[in-house]
Structure 1
Amino acid sequence: MIKENVAEVEARIQAACERAGRRREEVTLIAVSKTKPVRDIYEVMETGIKDFGENKVQEMCDKMEMIQQPLNWHMIGHLQRNKVKYIVDKATLIHSVDSLRLAQQISQEAQKKSVESNILIEVNVAEEESKFGLSTEEVIQMVEEISKLPSVHIKGLMTVAPFTDNPEENRPYFRNLKQLAVDIAEKNIDNVTMSVLSMGMTGDYEVAIEEGATMVRVGTGIFGARIYSK
Structure 2
Amino acid sequence: MNLQENKNLIFEQVALAAEAANRSKNSVNVIAVTKYVDSETAKKLVDTGIEHIGENRVDKFLDKYEALKDQQLTWHLIGSLQRRKVKSVINFVDYFHALDSVKLAAEIQKRAEKPVKCFLQVNISEEESKHGFKVTEVEEAIAEIANFDKVIVVGLMTMAPIDASQDEIDTIFARTNQLRRQLQDRKIKNMPLTELSMGMSGDYQIAIKNGSTFVRIGTSFFK
TM-score > 0.5, shorter chain as reference: yes
Residue 189 of structure 1: SS of its match in structure 2?
coil
CA shift for structure 1 position 57: 0.5
Question: Over the residues paired in the alignment, what is the CA RMSD in angstroms?
Answer: 1.2
Deviates more, 1:34-43 or 1:199-208: 34-43
User: Which of residues 64, 72, 88 is equivalent to 1:70?
Assistant: 72
Q: Judge conservation of contact 1:167–1:203 (CA < 8 Å) in 2.
A: no
CA shift for structure 1 position 9: 1.0
Instruction: Look up the match of 1:176.
Output: 175
TM-score by length of 1: 0.92
TM-score by length of 2: 0.95
Q: Deviations over 1:94-143 (max 9, x none)?
A: 10000000000000001xxx322111100111111111111112113212
Deviates more, 1:205-214 or 1:45-54: 45-54
Query: CA separation in 1, counterparts of 2:65 and 2:72?
Result: 9
Describe how 1:89-100 pairs up with structure 2 within 5 A.
89-100=91-102
2:140 partner amino acid: Q
Instruction: Look up the match of 1:135.
Output: 134
Describe how 1:141-220 pairs up with structure 2 within 5 A.
141-164=140-163, 166-220=165-219
CA shift for structure 1 position 169: 2.8
Instruction: Look up the match of 1:228.
Output: none
Q: Deviations over 1:30-54 (max 9, x none)?
A: 0010131112212221221110110
Q: Tell me if 1:43 matches 2:49.
A: no
Q: Deviations over 1:50-104 (max 9, x none)?
A: 1011011011111111112131110100100001001111011110000000000
Which stretches in structure 1 are left out of the alignment for 5+ residues? 225-230
Which stretches in structure 2 are left out of the alignment for 5+ residues? none
1:39 partner amino acid: E
Q: Residue 164 and residue 11 in structure 1: after superposition, are their counterparts in 2 closer, same or farther (change >3 A)? A: farther
Query: CA separation in 2, counterparts of 1:52 and 1:18?
Result: 24
Q: Residue 167 and residue 7 in structure 1: after superposition, are their counterparts in 2 closer, same or farther (change >3 A)? A: farther
CA shift for structure 1 position 165: 7.1
Residue 89 of structure 1: SS of its match in structure 2?
helix
Residue 157 of structure 1: SS of its match in structure 2?
strand
CA shift for structure 1 position 144: 2.2
CA shift for structure 1 position 166: 4.3
Describe how 1:102-117 pairs up with structure 2 within 5 A.
102-110=104-112, 114-117=113-116
